Amino acid sequence: MDMNAEILARAIGARVRQERKTRGWTLDQLAESAGLSRRMLVNVEQGAANPSVGTLLNLSAALGVGLPALVEPPARRSAKPTRSGEGAVLWTGEFGGQGVLVASTGQPDIVELWDWTLAPGDRHESKEHSAGTRELLQVHSGSVRVAAGGEAYELGPGDALSFHGDLPHSYAATGTEPARFSLAVFEPGAGSARRIENTHD
């Protein structure tokens, strides 16, 4: 991992450990709830692993907190700027693409703003998010194929798409040049259903 990735991994690990201990859970309890191996969870908490977006989503659902809460400290101001290069890199493609979380709101209704770059050949598969999740995507450069809800959409510069994020979906670069797009994710009541479930365990 590079220095920025190491800092992010340590921050995520500390937050996951804090949330787990706040709930009085053992490593085994959280690992089982999140569908992860105990070894993977230990690596995440120690900052020794750079967890995938899927792993982070599993942990956020199990802990009943939104994804942004795992990758940044609680905001202390009403406005929080994110300078260029300061976003959390949460996905890296096989050919050099990146998915960067640049801004977000707090719970219960979470909105995330992502800056995505897909190198030629890059593809990102995403499992379904929580019920009611919607995504808005706009292409800035290059060409992107978005598969969602059993349909595929070819998008070029300036094109936009809104779709249901509570179904499996994917993004893929289809041209010979890198593709860049902004993605907004609206996840209403993120983690609330899981929190209610956990209070009855």
- State the DSSP string of 27-74: HHHHHHHHT--HHHHHHHHTT-----HHHHHHHHHHHT--HHHHHSPP
β-pairing, 169-173 with 88-92? Answer: unpaired
Do 134 and 104 touch, CB atoms closer than 8 A?
no
Question: What contacts 40, CB < 8 A, 6 or more positions away?
Answer: 31, 49, 55
> Which stretches of the chain score pLDDT less than 70?
1-3, 73-78, 190-201
**What single letter denotes the amino acid at residue 195?**
R
Tell me how far apart the terminal alpha carbons of the chain are, to the nearest angstrom.
38
12-26 pLDDT, tens digit each: 998 899 889 888 899
How many helices and strands, by DSSP H and E, does the chain display? 6, 10
65-82 pLDDT, tens digit each: 888 888 875 555 567 788
Helices 3-22 and 27-34: angle between axes, nearest 10 degrees: 110
Question: What contacts 18, CB < 8 A, 6 or more positions away?
Answer: none
Q: Which two tokens mark 74?
A: 């609680």
pLDDT reported for residue 198: 37
